[in-house]
Amino acid sequence: MVIRVSKVTNPAELREFCDLPLRLHPPELYVPVPEQRIQAWYRGTGPQRRYGPVDLYLARDGGGRVVGRTCLHRNTDLDRRLGRPVQLFGLTEFADRAAMDVDGDDPAKELLDLAEQAATVSGCDLLLGPAALLPDRSPGVLTSGFDLRGCSDGGWNPAHYAAAYARHGFSPRWPGQTWLCEGLDDPGRLPPEKAFAFDERRIQDERLVVHRGRRRALRRVLPRLLGILNPAPERNPAPGQPARVERVERAERGGEVSAADFADFVDYADLAGRAALDPDLLLYLTRAGEPVSFLLAVPDPSVHPGGAGAPQGRPTLQAWQALQGLQARTAPLLRRGLRPAAQQGPARPWGQAQQQTQGRRRGAEAVLVASGTAPQWQRRGYSTLLARELYRNLGAGGYATLRGRRVPPGDRAAEAPYRGMGGRPLQQSVFYERSLR
């Protein structure tokens, strides 16, 4: 074996770490993890530091070429949830051993052996990953749909990844699947009122108002929305599913407090650096003036519709880097607050809404990233009402596609918005674990 694994200790090696998956994977399929996030972990900034460092490692072949990478980290909240000390690994990428110049070289084995050594030193008896930073906010390893683009945050890998984990003694855990809804800008689509049935009389009787993101100070309403997210069902996940053990991760940013506050709310730490907020896709519902449910989608930052020289709707590295540069221009959007969108009374006709905004974002894509309903108001159809308004706004805004992040298969509540919009499961994925005792 001539594979050598070493820790990233300087900016040049950090550059190699970030560039590796862009070299290994097809650019039309792979969606990079934002460099801003990786750089913050390397620097030791952000809330993860309360649990300890995130150490980055590179694997090199005999000629010094980078052929793999991984990171190692711990999280005591996850340890408590699982009832045992866990060594996490993530950002894990590696070349196929069948393509190596030297027969027998296996970058995956060397990286996973390193993780086992770290676990032994720290007293852990379980290896779990790939998770960056936690399973609930990571895409896992694809086990199907390898010819389709990933959703976000490195959510694509070739078929040999799953085989490598199995070969090295790992077992699958926490299966999930992403969702895809297409043709949302088609005037012939099922109207929102039929796709998501809701008794209109309840809107007035229960004093229900749907609000959308626009104007005034957003931070003023964030604590109330966080009160919905924190006790939402993810705190008590279904058996065999990862817990959302850490809900607040600040965006690594250059002093833009409002952007960080917003990232705290959506639990989507890189949002401020990757995409501008579309106020029509941030929706929350009040009942007699009190927030009871919310739903957030964002324009997909990995897609560059109609870019010169790029296929329609396909991501490009240039577009991705340009979107990462939006952070400074995002702050003014995030300093604006929320105003009512759907008051009591009839909504705009489906066709009329589309005609008024035709061409605004023709063919654009969005990603549903967060949702929740306060426990005492669940099973009352409030999420159905918000999904209806999101469906309406996506079509009116010219969005053709909504992608859903990873959800447990068979979770009817999580699947309901996608099913109502005519969506379908897209890609299957799992995490992998290996017991050390």
- Cα(121)–Cα(262) distance, integer angstroms: 38
H or E element, residue 225: helix 222-229
- Cα(232)–Cα(91) distance, integer angstroms: 28
**Mean pLDDT rounded to a whole number for the chain:** 77
Output the pTM of the full model.
0.76
Residue 228's closest CA among 243, 247, 210, 202?
247
**DSSP string spanning 155-186?**
----THHHHHHHHTT-EEEEEEEEEEEE-TT-
Mark which of 151, 176, 201 sits at the end of a domain: 176
Residue 157: which domain range? 4-176
**What Cα–Cα distance (Å) separates residue 348 from each residue in 19, 209, 213, 268, 393?**
47, 15, 18, 31, 11
Could you tell me if 363 and 394 lie in one domain? yes
Residue 311: the pLDDT is 36
Residue 117: the pLDDT is 96
What is the band of 214 on the pLDDT scale with cuts at 50, 70, 90? low
Could you tell me if 193 and 158 lie in one domain? no
Could you tell me if 189 and 219 lie in one domain? yes
- The CATH number that applies at residue 331 is 3.40.630
Could you tell me if 256 and 362 lie in one domain? yes
Mark which of 176, 209, 225 sits at the end of a domain: 176
Could you tell me if 169 and 305 lie in one domain? no
Could you tell me if 30 and 147 lie in one domain? yes
Could you tell me if 139 and 97 lie in one domain? yes
Residue 168: the pLDDT is 96
On whether residue 435 sits in a domain, the answer given is no
Could you tell me if 221 and 134 lie in one domain? no
Highest mean pLDDT (candidates 246-250, 323-327, 373-377, 423-427): 423-427
On whether residue 366 sits in a domain, the answer given is yes
Could you tell me if 157 and 232 lie in one domain? no
On whether residue 201 sits in a domain, the answer given is yes
Q: Count the domains in the chain.
A: 2
Could you tell me if 195 and 50 lie in one domain? no
Q: Please give the structure tokens belonging to residue 8.
A: 């990233």
Could you tell me if 164 and 138 lie in one domain? yes
Could you tell me if 36 and 12 lie in one domain? yes
